[in-house]
Amino acid sequence: MSKCYGCGKEFPGRMREVSFDFQGALVKDHVPGLKCDECFKKEFVRRFETYASEIIKIENGHVSVDWEKFLDLGRKRIRRDVIMQLLEGFGILSIYQLGGWRIDVGHGSANPRMLSTGTKMLFTRRNDARDYASLACQGSAGFEIYRQSRLCH
């Protein structure tokens, strides 16, 4: 047993997946063994309200993203990375390559990248990849969206 860094309560301090309802939308996230589930949920809500409420909208359990506002963040590393983590929790972005939607421009990927780690995220929904690409790739010679069917090294 470990003590939660948030509340001090004893809990099994191990990495685990936590699922919960947030404004009618399902959140699934991997929680490191530093916080109990309740403190993790409170932190998720605080981060959403502080960083993402203007960019991520939830209506009737459906999560939508204002990709134009997301791209306007530019290189504001902390806010952008927090929003990407929230989008991963909502199942909009994923670090897992297989089955995700990838945006190719020329000989590179235009998918969003965590600025703190360099990790490229793939889209789980094709329409989000299309909407993001149409904004992010303006002025380029074009882009192609395809489902990742094999691992890239």
Answer whether 66's CB lies under 8 Å from 55's CB: yes
Beta strands in the chain (DSSP E): 2-3, 10-11, 16-22, 25-31, 56-59, 62-65, 93-94, 101-105, 108-109, 122-123, 144-147
Average pLDDT over residues 134-139: 85
pLDDT at residue 150, rounded to an integer = 63
Residue 82's contacts (CB-CB under 8 Å, 6 or more residues apart) are 47, 51, 52
pLDDT in tens, 7-58: 999 988 788 999 999 999 999 998 888 889 999 999 999 999 999 999 999 9
pTM exceeds cut of 0.75: yes
pLDDT at residue 140, rounded to an integer = 67
| pLDDT > 70: percent of the chain | 95
| pLDDT > 90: percent of the chain | 62
Q: Is the pLDDT of residue 66 over 50?
A: yes
- Amino acid identity, position 35: K
In this prediction, residue 102 has a pLDDT band, given cuts at 50, 70 and 90, of very high
pLDDT at residue 88, rounded to an integer = 95
